[in-house]
Amino acid sequence: MNPDLLQKIKSPTHAWLPGPRTLLRLIGPDRLRFLNGQVTQDVKKLLPGHAVRSAIITSKGRLEADLHIAATSDSLLIETDFILRKSLHTRLEKFIVADDVTIEDISLSYNLAHFLSLSSPPTDAPKDSLHFLCPRFREPGLDLWIPSTSPYQPASSALPDWEPLRIARGLPLWGTDVGPDTLPPEAGFESDAISSTKGCYIGQEVISRLRSVGHVNRHLCVLASPSTSIPSLPMESTTPDGTALGKMTSATSLPDSSVILSLSMIKRDHAKAGNSVLANASTWTILRHA
């Protein structure tokens, strides 16, 4: 299976409306210093009008949230899966001591649309929308936060299925591919969600130790199989001779192709491009790490 297959997956240009998202707004003069001590990215380098992927982890280095942070001239916005709405808010509030920062939950005030390859909002977008340059799918794009009271819908009449692009780009889904037992380097977070130069944040010691050791014990991998049938997931995966490797958690068919893509945690020694994985009596080829 040719790894170049992943680069040929292009998404439609119209918008993605993924449903309700957690959206927290941080205001106050200490917002940058406070949030910088909580997340894996260097928020102090984030320019207004831009958004970046980041993570919040525990003191033991385990994931608490896979998120995006956006900056305006007077606030920071944190966006993540809706299921994390309460736990993320509680987690952040817990560490506010003498900081002059306020956290507002505005999750129900906006809906998210994402446009690939755009650098400015569509001309018909509501004037009170918020917009940020955001490489949400590891390629240039624009997040458009639309007030929930607005009747606006993107021009396209048919919204695309984004699973092929998400899986091809190795982007995990919270509660499906990653969760509170995941170390960020296992799932490819170091490529776009962890700063290697910023100062102290919660869990940094663990991330630094993993870098010095040089490896984790498993990797989230992108796999492919010549098939037209999406398997029932989650599903255990093994080597061809039956040695347990991990669990396959996401899968999708490719448009106009008899290929199924999947994401699976694979033991480090076997997680190499070109190796074969057996799952549900089907043979899968590892294309790359997430």
Per-10-residue mean pLDDT of the chain, 290 residues long, equals 58 61 97 97 97 97 97 98 96 95 97 88 92 93 93 64 85 96 96 91 93 88 89 92 94 82 96 93 92
Q: How far apart are the first and last CA of the chain?
A: 17
Q: Which of 216, 235, 255 marks a domain boundary?
A: 216
Considering the domain architecture, whether residues 262 and 182 belong to the same structural domain is answered as no
* Single-letter residue type at 214: G
Question: How many angstroms separate the CA atoms of 220 and 217, rounded?
Answer: 11
Residue 287 sits in a domain of what CATH number? Answer: 2.40.30.110
Considering the domain architecture, whether residues 209 and 265 belong to the same structural domain is answered as no
pLDDT of residue 3: 54
Q: Which range marks the domain in which residue 84 is found?
A: 1-162+169-216
- CB crowding 65-83: b at 16 or more within 10 Å, else e: bbbbbbbeeebbbbbbbee
Considering the domain architecture, whether residues 123 and 202 belong to the same structural domain is answered as yes
Q: Which of 185, 216, 247 marks a domain boundary?
A: 216
Considering the domain architecture, whether residues 182 and 226 belong to the same structural domain is answered as no
Residues 6+ apart with CB under 8 A from 193: 40, 41, 53, 54, 55, 66, 184
Considering the domain architecture, whether residues 5 and 117 belong to the same structural domain is answered as yes
Considering the domain architecture, whether residues 56 and 186 belong to the same structural domain is answered as yes
Considering the domain architecture, whether residues 255 and 143 belong to the same structural domain is answered as no
pLDDT of residue 157: 41
Considering the domain architecture, whether residues 10 and 85 belong to the same structural domain is answered as yes
Looking at the structure of the chain, the number of domains it has is 2
DSSP state of 147: E
Residue 180 sits in a domain of what CATH number? Answer: 3.30.1360.120
| Burial group, residue 290, by CB count within 10 angstroms (0-12, 13-18, 19+) | buried
Considering the domain architecture, whether residues 105 and 126 belong to the same structural domain is answered as yes
What is each CA distance from 210 to 59, 65, 173, 205, 289, in whole angstroms?
A: 14, 19, 23, 9, 17
Considering the domain architecture, whether residues 97 and 174 belong to the same structural domain is answered as yes
Considering the domain architecture, whether residues 181 and 225 belong to the same structural domain is answered as no
Considering the domain architecture, whether residues 209 and 288 belong to the same structural domain is answered as no
Which residues of 82-180 form beta strands (DSSP E)?
102-105, 110-116, 130-133, 141-147
Question: How many angstroms separate the CA atoms of 250 and 240, rounded?
Answer: 20
pLDDT of residue 254: 79
* Residues 118 and 132: beta-carbon distance below 8 Å: no
pLDDT of residue 56: 98
